[in-house]
Amino acid sequence: MARYAKFAVAVMLICTLAGCGGSETPNGNKDAGKAATAPGDVYYFNNARIIPGDGNAVISDAVFLVENGIITKIGTKEDVKPPQGAGRMDFEGQLLMPMLVNLSGHPGLNTGAVFSTENYKKESVMNDLNRSLYYGISAVLISGSDKDDVTLQVRDDQRSGKAGGATVFSAGRGITGKGGSFLKDMLIQVGSEADARGAVIENAGKKADFIAIWNDDSTGTARLSPAITNAVIDEAKKKNLKVVAFVFSLADAKEMVKAGVHGIIHSIRDRDVDDELVNDMKAKNVFYAPTLTAHESLFIYADKPNWLGEQSMREVYPAQLSAFLADSVFIGKMKRDPNLAKYKEQYGVALKNLKKIAAGGVKVVLGADSGIANTFPGYFEHRELQLMADAGMSPMDIIKSATSVSADVIGLKDGGSIAVGKRADFLVMSSDPLEKIANSKEIAMMYRGGVQVERLPLIQNIQMEVPKITAADRAKEADAQKADAIAQADAKLTHYGKFPLGPSAMVAGLAVPTPKYSTHRDKIGPPHQITVSGKATAAEFREFYTAALSRGGWVAAGNCFEKKNVVTGKTNSLCIDASNGTAVINIVEK
C-alpha cells in the first residue's frame, strides 16, 4: 500500500510538472475521478489508524466493514471478521481521516490570477470542484456567488449522476443592499422588505439549499438595514431554509444572531468580540466560518510567503502561477495598496476573535471563501486549517470542525466522520495532521463509498492561462519603485504641512521657501513677485507657508507676513494669493 501511494504521487508530480493535459476543458462529467476499480457490495479494511472526525481519539489497529458504500462495523480483528467474498484491503498502519467539507466557496471566478465574473461558467465551476475534490474536499457550499443558475444546475447534475467533483450545496444568489460594486451581477440587490422577501422566494423557488445575506461592506457590497435583514430571515424560516450572513463588524454580527441567522461567515474584524456575542451564538447554536484565507490574501503576498509554490500547490496549480504571485511586479502593487496596514490589523483581530469564539464553545466550521481573488479552491481549504491553528485551535479540534461539524451544518447526513452508518468517504494520509496540521495536504489516497478514487484524472486536463508580465509592466514597476524610494527618503525630512522644503527663491536679498518638487519664477519689483507652481491645493500651499515662513522668522500680520530686513533695517511684507496648483507671493518694503 505504501509503495503504491509513493508511486502514484511520483507519477502525478511528473505529469504536473510536464504540463500534461490540453486546454481549459470541463472535467466534471460523471466519469471524472471515477473509482479505480468497479465497486463491489462488501469491503473489509484492516490494519488502519483512524481519526474519526468527531473529536474522539485515534482508533489504532482498526478494522471496518463497508457494505454498499456505508460503514457497517468498526472494531478490532477479533470483533470484525471478513465476510466470505468481501474485497480486502490492508492499510499497513496508515492513518485515515474523513474528507473535508467547506462551508463557503466561490468556484468558477478565478481562472488563474484574474478574478472576474466574466470567467464564470459551468466549465470553470466544474474545474474548481474537481480541484477541490483532488484535495480531499467532499462538499462545498457555494455561498451566494451565482448567476444564470449555474451552481444550481451543477448541483442538480451531480444529484442525478451526470456530474462529478466535490458535492455542491448552493445558496443561489446572495442577497445584499443596493449600490454595492462587488459581484453585483451575481447578487440580488434589495432596497425594501418586500424586495428582500421576493429575493428569498426567488431562491427558494429554485430549491436553493441555503439563503446567504451579504452584509460585509468591507468587500464592496452594500449593507442592509436591520428591518430588511429581519425580513430575509423571516421569509427564509417560512421556506424552511437556513440563513448564513457575511459580516465585518461586531455590531452587525450581534444583530444577525439576534435576528435568528444560522451561521456567520467571515471573521469579525473591526474589534474584539465580547462575551455577550459568544454566549448568544453558543445558546442559539449559531456556527462561525472564519474565512481567514480570504482576509490573509489581501496582504500575504507582499511578504512572499514560503508556502507559495510548494509541491502540494504545484500538483494542481502551475508553477507559473506561483511565479506570477511572487514576482516583484505583483508584490510591488500589493505593497503600495494604501489599505495594506489596515488589512494586516484586521487579520490580527480575526485571529484573536476565532480563538475566543472557539474557546467559548461556539460551533466553528471550515469556511475558506476559496475562489475569490488570489485564493485557489482545494489548496486554500488546507491553508485555512493552518490559519485556524495559528489562531490557537488544536489539530484535533480543527479536523472536527472541518469534517463532522461542517458536514452536520451543511446537511451532509451520511458524511463528515468515519463511523458506523456513515459513507466510507475518507483520506489515506502520508503524514499525520495531528502532529502538524499542515500535513493535511499530504494525501496518499482517497476513497468514496469505500472505493478508491484515482485523483490524477480529476485535474490532468485542466490548465490555467496565467497573466504575463510585460516589459511595460516592469518599466512601470521600476518607476514606481523609484518613486517609493524618493517618498521614503522624503519621509525622513522635516515637513511643513504636506511638503518638505525645496530650494529657496532669492528675491532682493530675501530667501523665500518653496515646497520640494515645486517650480518658481521670480519678478523683480517693487513689488517683488514669486510665482510657485506644484501639485498642491490652495489650502496645502497656505499650510506650507504658514509653517515654513514662521520657521524663517516671518511673523503673521493679518493675512500676510512681515520680517525686518537686517541689512536695510526696513520691514518687508509678504502676502500669498494661493489657488490650486499655484501660489503667487508679493513682497513689498515698508
Q: pLDDT per residue over 444-477, tens digit each?
A: 999 999 999 999 999 999 988 888 899 999 999 9
pLDDT, mean of residues 496-520: 93
Bridge partners (DSSP) listed for residue 446: 427, 453
The one-letter amino acid at 261? V
**DSSP state for residue 239 in the 8-state scheme:** T
Complete DSSP assignment for 23-62: SS----BTTTT-BSS---SEEEEEEEEE--SSSPPPEEEE
- Whether residue 354 contacts residue 393, with contact meaning beta carbons closer than 8 Å, is answered with yes
Candidates 339, 324, 397, 329; CA nearest to 366 is 397
- Which tens digits make up the pLDDT trace of 246-304? 999 999 999 999 999 999 999 999 999 999 999 999 999 999 999 999 999 999 999 99
Give the integer Cα–Cα distance in Å for 21 and 121.
20
Reduced to 3 states (helix: H, G, I; strand: E, B; else coil), residue 426 is: strand
Nearest Cα to Cα of residue 222 among 190, 193, 185: 190
Give the number of other CB atoms < 10 A from CB of residue 551.
11
Measured CA angle at 207 (ends 201, 213), to 5 deg: 55
The residue length of the chain stands at 590
Domain boundaries, the chain: 1-25+34-98+415-461, 100-299+337-411, 495-589
Query: Within 10 Å of residue 526's Cβ, how many Cβ atoms?
Result: 10
Read off the pLDDT of residues 177-219 as tens digits, 9 standing for 90 and up. 998 778 878 999 999 999 999 999 999 999 999 999 999 888 8
pLDDT tier, 40 (very low <50, low <70, confident <90, very high otherwise): low
Per the omega criterion (within 30 degrees of 0), is the bond before 526 cis? yes
Q: 33 Cβ partners below 8 Å, 6+ apart?
A: 130, 133, 134, 164, 165, 453, 454, 455, 457, 458
Run of H or E including 533:
strand 528-533
Per-residue confidence (pLDDT) for residue 408, from 0 to 100:
97
Exposed e or buried b for every residue in 410-424, given b needs 16+ CB within 10 A? bebeebbbbbeebbb
> Residue range 137-149: average pLDDT?
95
Q: How far apart are CA 507 and CA 524, in angstroms?
A: 7
Question: Domain 100-299+337-411 class?
Answer: alpha beta
Residue 332: how many other CB atoms lie within 10 Å:
17
What residues have CB less than 8 Å from 284, skipping those under 6 apart? 257, 260
- The per-residue pLDDT for 251 is 95
Q: Is the pLDDT of residue 536 over 70?
A: yes
> Is 145 strand, coil or helix?
coil
What is the model's pLDDT at position 111?
78
Written as nine digits, the cell of 487 is: 517618498
Residue type, 205: G
The distance between the two most distant Cα atoms of the chain, rounded to a whole number of Å, is 118
| Residue 148 region by backbone torsions, left for phi larger than 0, else alpha for psi between -120 and 50, else beta | left
Helices and strands, counts by H and E, the chain? 18, 27
The CA distance from 273 to 562, in Å, is 56
Q: What's the predicted TM-score (pTM) here?
A: 0.85
Sign, Cα dihedral of 295, 297, 303, 309: positive
List, for residues 312-350, the tens digit of each pLDDT value. Answer: 999 999 999 999 999 999 999 999 999 999 999 999 999
The CA distance from 249 to 255, in Å, is 10
For residues 12-22, average pLDDT: 35
How far apart CA 291 and CA 477 sit, in angstroms, is 31
Angle, helix 340-359 to helix 379-390, in steps of 10 degrees = 70
3-state SS assignment for residue 85: coil
pLDDT of residue 13: 38
Residue 382 has pLDDT above 70, yes or no: yes
Cis peptide before 290 (omega within 30 of 0): no
What's the pLDDT at 108? 94
Q: Judging by DSSP bridges, how do beta strands 95-98 and 42-50 pair with one another?
A: parallel
Q: What is the pLDDT of residue 326?
A: 95
Which of 23-32, 217-226, 493-502 is predicted with the least confidence, judged by mean pLDDT? 23-32
In sequence order, the 6+-apart residues with CB closer than 8 A to the CB of 565 are 509, 510, 571, 572, 589
CA terminus-to-terminus distance, the chain: 100
Q: How far is CA 98 from CA 31, 217, 334, 400, in A?
A: 22, 35, 37, 9
Q: For residue 226, which amino acid is it?
A: P
- Do the bridges between strand 519-523 and strand 560-564 make them parallel or antiparallel, or are there none, so unpaired? unpaired
The predicted pLDDT at position 568 comes to 78
CB burial string 11-32: b at 16+ within 10 A, e below: ebeeebeeeeeeebebbbeeeb
Place of cell 474545474: 127
All three cell numbers of 337, joined, read: 495598496
CA atoms within 13 A on the CB side of 416: 24
pLDDT at 35 over 90: no
CATH of 1-25+34-98+415-461, one of 3.30.365.10, 2.30.40.10, 3.30.2130.10, 3.40.640.10: 2.30.40.10
Please tell me what DSSP assigns to residue 148. Answer: T
C-alpha cell at 576: 500669498
Question: Same fold for the domain at 1-25+34-98+415-461 and the one at 100-299+337-411?
Answer: no
